[in-house]
Amino acid sequence: MRLTKAIFQMEMRNILAYRFSFWINFFGTTIGQLGLSYFLWSSVYSASNSQRIGGMTFQMMILYSFLAPMTLKCIHGMQNLNINQDIFDGGLNKYIIYPLSYFQFKWVQHLTHTFSHAFQLFMGLAFFAIMIGMPSEYQFGAINIICFLINLAIASSLFAVMESIMEMMAFWADNVWSLSVLLRFVINLLSGAWLSLTLFPDWAQQAFYYLPFKGMVYPPVKILMGDMSLLEWAQSQLMMMVWFVLISFLARKMWQAGNLRYTGVGI
Amino acid sequence: MIHVKNLSKTFTVNEKEPGLKGSFKSLFKRKVITKYALNNINFDIHEGEIVGLIGANGAGKTTLSKILSGIIHPSSGEISVLGTDPWKREINFRKKMSLIMGQKASLWWDLPALDCYLLLKEIYQINDEDYHTRLNFLAETLGIKDQLKVQIRRLSLGERMKVELIAALLHNPQVVFLDEPTIGLDLTAQKAVRKFLLDYRRQFNPCMILTSHYMEDIEELCERIIILKEGSIVYDGPLKDIIAKYANEKQIILTLMNGDIIKERAPRDGIGERISALLKSHDVLDLSVTEIEISEIIEKILRQGVMA
């Protein structure tokens, strides 16, 4: 626990070491995302002549379109775990030498970035409330925030383990960057980050239920918006945890096999 | 402390034909070649010894350090470091060893050294008292106390090496692998690092394996050397023995009255006769007899591959 705390503190110091980047990132993402959502959906709603699309009013849709990418950003954490880079240039050596678990280190680092982005998300939400105003249907309580944070931790961990599999391919191939891009594309599409999942046909929505992605963005945003039952939310978390265990097992096997091929270049 | 028996390591590398045609061809089919990085290596190293690993580029020195520290997997053979197989990467083993990579930073560049040390304190589970005592001792001995709050990326190369040394020794390791610890440093910094390593060894008596291309490092730090050539050991023994064993000549340096200097080599057993002859034929102001440079002897061994 002390080590986890120390890694968290170190990574926070790393993040805060570049405060210019921190604030640019915050304002760029928040205002950019809000502006984009507003103009996009106002055109869509005026063209459709309907008060609700996918069961959501215009304001709800804007809120969703703002929260979904911000939530996705939280889940992406540090974006790349840099495992492929560590394998490629021998950076892994130091983690092998230090008496710690490489994955524990990367996982805590990743969650620290998730935490930092979540802080930005809540600041952005406050900005949204002041500038645009919360939709009248919006219901907000402590339980929603707690569920949201739990969801973030689970989804972020699931993303980290999926990303680690892509990056560990570097044990066998030199350049695996495209695999990470592919993973992000699939997650963005099937998690509801780009579009609310209610906009997909029914058969697709049913199929998504069994995939690991559905619980990553759609439920946390919906639970934060007070638009999902606790039971439905809990089911999505359970599904993610099952996937987490399965993918972790696969990651462990890959790590064991990959290490036999590791050459520790760079020293 | 370190036991190595019949150790071998092979690597497979892809070979690609040159040119655009070769690049296209390699998309579908590549020629794979198996290379021996280490071939049937045997040695033992005991507590308190500093052993120098010497060899040309690609001789297998770094591969050997990596296998002994558990970074890479050996292809065959028996290895025991501190009574355990390094490849198992047991936490207890990792707590007792250290690897200093002169060409590779092991600390986090965006943070000051002190922040990195705090993390290492938790990683190695060092108690507060030991942490402060060791940190003070290491920082004072290396003369780097004032730089510990500066972001590592802003330090000079010499200062970076010093903060890396502190990081590697903070947990008081029993086995230390030093891979080119003075590479790129100026002469003053090289001397400081060497002096520090000797002081550290005197005080804590760890077993050290040093890989360096600088002969000064080897001569000042190591009593024993292992010379590797193409993955095999060609010499393993005391550094001083290498002169008696392989240098069958000595060097005579004469300074003449007119200021000229003559350097000449003569067989060990005929050195007296040669000096007499030189004294008779020249007006000599000063005369000295020296051993041939160790680097030259090692170069000769590497060239000719003399077996131990």
CB B38 within 8 A of CB B61: no
Taking the CB of residue B246, how many other CB atoms lie within 10 A of it?
17
Chosen for mutation from B14, B120, B123, B170 (greatest number of chain A CBs closer than 10 Å) is B123
Chosen for mutation from B101, B174, B210 (greatest number of chain A CBs closer than 10 Å) is B101
The nearest CA of chain A is from the CA of B120 a distance in Å of 8
Q: Is the pLDDT of residue B182 over 70?
A: yes
The nearest CA of chain A is from the CA of B35 a distance in Å of 13
pLDDT, position A162 = 94
Q: Do A93 and B179 touch (CB under 8 A)?
A: no
**pLDDT interval class at B17 (50, 70, 90):** confident
* Nearest residue, CB atoms, B122 vs list A2, A90, A91: A2
B108 touches chain A (CB under 8 A): yes
**pLDDT interval class at B214 (50, 70, 90):** confident
Nearest CA in chain A to B69: A97
Nearest CA in chain A to B114: A10
B141 touches chain A (CB under 8 A): no
**pLDDT interval class at B305 (50, 70, 90):** low
Beta B97-101 vs B175-179: how paired, if at all? parallel
CB B100 within 8 A of CB B181: yes
Which residues are bridge partners to B175 per DSSP?
B97, B207
The nearest CA of chain A is from the CA of B288 a distance in Å of 42
Q: Do B106 and A94 touch (CB under 8 A)?
A: yes
Residue B249 DSSP code: E
Q: Give chain A positions within 8 Å (CB) of B178.
A: none
Q: Do B101 and A14 touch (CB under 8 A)?
A: no
A265 touches chain B (CB under 8 A): no
What's the pLDDT tens digit per position in A142-173?
899 999 999 999 999 999 999 999 999 999 98
Has this prediction a pTM greater than 0.80?
A: no
Mean pLDDT of B20-48: 84
Nearest CA in chain B to A266: B104
Give the number of residues written for chain A: 267
Q: Give chain A positions within 8 Å (CB) of B106.
A: 93-94, 97
Q: How far apart are CA B28 and CA B31, in angstroms?
A: 10
A99 touches chain B (CB under 8 A): yes
CB A22 within 8 A of CB A16: yes
Which CATH topology does B46-243 take? Rossmann fold (3.40.50)
Q: Which of B98, B96, B65 is nearest to B165 (CA)?
A: B98
pLDDT, position A264 = 79
The CA-based dihedral angle spanning residues A58, A34, A69, A208, taken in that order and rounded to the nearest 10 degrees = 10
Q: Is the pLDDT of residue B257 over 80?
A: yes
What's the pLDDT tens digit per position in A217-250?
888 988 988 888 899 899 999 999 999 999 999 9
Higher pLDDT, A227 or A6: A6
**ipTM associated with this complex:** 0.76
The nearest CA of chain B is from the CA of A225 a distance in Å of 38
**pLDDT interval class at B208 (50, 70, 90):** very high
Q: Which of A241, A63, A256 is nearest to A157 (CA)?
A: A241
A57 touches chain B (CB under 8 A): no
Least confident span in A28-32, B35-39, B225-229? A28-32
* Nearest residue, CB atoms, B71 vs list A9, A10, A264: A264
| Mean per-residue pLDDT over chain B, rounded | 86
pLDDT, position B176 = 93
pLDDT, position B308 = 44
Sign of the torsion formed by the C-alpha atoms of A253, A257, A260 and A265: negative
Mean pLDDT of A55-74: 85
**pLDDT interval class at B94 (50, 70, 90):** very high
pLDDT, position B129 = 92
% of chain A beyond a pLDDT of 90:
30
Q: How far apart are CA A128 and CA B7, in angstroms?
A: 65
A16 touches chain B (CB under 8 A): no
Q: Do B110 and A17 touch (CB under 8 A)?
A: yes
Q: How far apart are CA A34 and CA B134, in angstroms?
A: 53
Could you tell me the residue ranges of all domains in chain B?
46-243, 248-291
What's the pLDDT tens digit per position in A83-138?
998 998 888 988 999 999 999 999 999 999 999 999 888 888 888 888 778 877 77
